[in-house]
Amino acid sequence: MSRRYFDFPFRIDGRGQTATAPADEHVRDLIYQVLFTSPGERVNRPDFGCGLQQLVFMPNSDALATATQFLVQGALQRWLADVIQVDGVEVNAENERLTVQVVYTRKDTGERRIDSFAAPALTGGAA
């Protein structure tokens, strides 16, 4: 049986137990938490996160996309270096939507993955 992790966000499943997620979803949840946690939001780790959601209120442009790319890559390398190797980050700014695509390799399996994320305030959730 494969290892299971607490699901994010924390919730109770249909059986009345703590919801769990497989390893692939868990790693995606970890990336999501780094991207959408604003520095200062966590009391015991005030420098955790990269605050991607705050960028919703900035004027959308190619310059913002480039700055966001460096911000995201640095935060992921800092906070998840023991879980993933960041192979690339691509940020696209189209109209009112800022989409972040993260290419990474899981360190435990060597599997390369590509996941996309968008600010929840703009799209209603991760893409």
Task: Tell me what the mean pLDDT of segment 46-75 comes to.
Answer: 82
The secondary structure of residue 18, as a DSSP letter, is B
Name the CATH code of domain 4-123 (choices 3.10.450.40, 3.30.9.80, 3.40.50.720, 3.60.10.10). 3.10.450.40
Task: Tell me what the mean pLDDT of segment 72-90 comes to.
Answer: 95
Which residue in 110, 114, 104, 95 sits closest to 76, CA to CA? 104
Q: Return the minimum-mean-pLDDT range out of 52-56, 107-111, 115-119.
A: 52-56
Note the helical H segments in 43-97. 62-79
Q: In what order do the strands lie in the sheet with 112-118?
A: 84-94, 97-106, 112-118
